[in-house]
Amino acid sequence: MTRDGTGGNPSVGSTAEREDVRALPRYLDLPAGPAGGRQAWHLFGDDDDLGLLNLLTPEVVVAAARLVRRGAVFPLNAPVDLFGPGPFLPRGAPRRHVRTLRTAAVTGLDDVLDNFYPQASSQWDSLAHISADQERFYNGVTRDEIDRGRNTVDHWARRGIVGRGVLLDLAVGAGDDPGSAHAFTVTDLERAREAAGITLRTGDILVLHTGFAAWYARQTPERRARIPHDLAAPGLEHSEAVCAYLWDAHVAAVASDTLAVEVMPADHSAAAAPFGFLHQTLIGCFGMALGELWWLADLVADCHQDGVHEFLLASAPAHIPGGVASPANVLAVK
């Protein structure tokens, strides 16, 4: 894809480096999307509920496992209550209660979480989260079909998410407060990719560091309370060029430490569709898994220290039948 989003993308690897790319169409070769742009429905079959996670083949997993050299493990999960009350929606913080059971021999403790939202902290958005237009979700699925179990997160839970994670540090050189609505362009993505010395491969899990989660953790309660009313967070630019770049790189998923992967606030107007809110294209049209509010501060520091920006990434989404989302439950291993 060129910088203007109108053509090929040699920067993600030459044809010789990425023979497997030939099995997937280029962005401009995809059919028209239901609300504009392009869509990849039925690419993996009419009954597919996995989307681009289909790219995480056994060969991709084996290659990712070979990246482990030091045995360094980085949990990428923020505390479940870090972002509560929620910065995006007024969900409130989870409430934890401890139940005590005593017998003649022992004392047992059980946790109970009330008001727990799977999307309140580090999370995966499933393909049931956002539609491609007002009626149809990924693969043309309807709301009634979602209620019967199509596109829901339990499909991911039954197979897990394992592959090569690639970290791009967008915060370096951004020059903005991580609490601002800084939009990262294709040029920014390419600059970060080149700085990391990475060639993107089919099935990669792209991890984008913006600095938002660590910034949020440093804020006072008063500053956090203002965020839902004056929403601003960095993320990917609302543009077709960004969507084309991600598709032509053939990544399986994109995750970040910011609110929504894309810059916030979004433009939900019909005139801005389908790129005013990238979820509409990335999830609804492409079937791309999105991870949000991941804790990346420790991983990004290590990547800069050892110069290695690729790693084994493994996640076990919660097995919630009919679930729209899941806590991330994700580890990076180097």
- The predicted-structure confidence for 202-218, as pLDDT tens digits, reads as follows 999 999 999 999 999 99
Distance CA 268, CA 276 (A): 6
Which pLDDT does position 9 carry in this prediction?
44
> What does the pLDDT average to over 95-99?
89
pLDDT at 262: 98
pLDDT value of position 87: 58
Per-residue confidence (pLDDT) for residue 130, from 0 to 100: 96
Per-residue pLDDT at 226:
84
- Please provide the distance, in angstroms rounded to a whole number, between the alpha carbons at the two ends of the chain: 30
| pLDDT of the residue at 95 | 85
Q: Taking residues 162-189, report their average pLDDT.
A: 90
Contact indicator for 185, 3 with CB cutoff of 8 Å: no
Query: What length is written for the chain?
Result: 334
**Structure tokens that stand for 295 in this block:** 């804790």
Average pLDDT, the chain: 90
Q: Tell me the backbone φ, ψ of residue 295, rounded to 5 degrees.
A: -90, 110
- The encoded tokens of residue 243 equal 């969507």
DSSP reduced 3-state for 305: helix
Q: Which has more pLDDT, 25 or 224? A: 25
Please check whether residue 46 is in contact with residue 139, taking contact to mean a CB–CB distance below 8 angstroms: yes
Please write the tens of the pLDDT for every residue from 103-144: 999 999 999 888 888 898 999 999 999 999 999 999 999 999
CB-CB contact of 247 with 225 (8 Å):
no
The per-residue pLDDT for range 251-310, each reduced to its tens digit, is 999 999 999 999 999 999 988 999 999 999 999 999 999 999 999 999 999 999 999 999
Look at residue 223 and tell me whether its pLDDT is greater than 90: no
CA dihedral 96, 76, 52, 235 (to 10 degrees): 100
List CB contacts of 278: < 8 A, sequence separation 6 or more: 236, 238, 242, 243, 261, 262, 266
Q: What is the mean pLDDT of residues 199-203?
A: 97
Full-model pTM: 0.90
Helix crossing, 186-196 with 240-249: angle to 10°?
Answer: 40
Confidence of residue 228 (pLDDT cuts 50, 70, 90): confident
Which of these, 253, 241, 247, 232, lies nearest to 185 by C-alpha position? Answer: 241
Q: DSSP string covering 11-54, please?
A: GG--TTT-GGGGGS--GGGSPBPBTBSB--TTTT-TT--SGGGG
What span, in angstroms and rounded, lies between the C-alpha atoms of 21 and 268?
Answer: 33
Question: Which pLDDT tens digit goes with each residue over 10-27?
Answer: 344 433 333 344 489 999
With beta carbons less than 8 A apart as the criterion, state whether 143 and 132 touch.
no
> Taking residues 138-156, what's their average pLDDT?
97
96 has which bridge partners? Answer: 113
How many whole angstroms separate alpha carbon 129 and alpha carbon 127?
5
| Residue-range domains of the chain with CATH | 10-91+112-333 (3.50.30.50)
36-45, 141-150, 268-277, range with the lowest pLDDT:
268-277
**Hunting for tokens 């989307």 — which residue is that?**
51
pLDDT digits (tens, 9 = 90+) for 317-332: 999 999 999 999 999 9
**Using 50, 70 and 90 to split pLDDT, how confident is the model at 29?**
very high
Cis peptide before 221 (omega within 30 of 0): no
Distance, in Å, from the CA atom of 53 to the CA atom of 241, rounded to the nearest integer, reads: 22
For the chain, what percent of residues have pLDDT higher than 70? 90
Please give the single-letter amino acid code of residue 331.
L
Ranking 60-69, 96-105, 125-134, 243-252 by mean pLDDT, the lowest is 96-105
Q: Residue 42 pLDDT more than 80?
A: yes
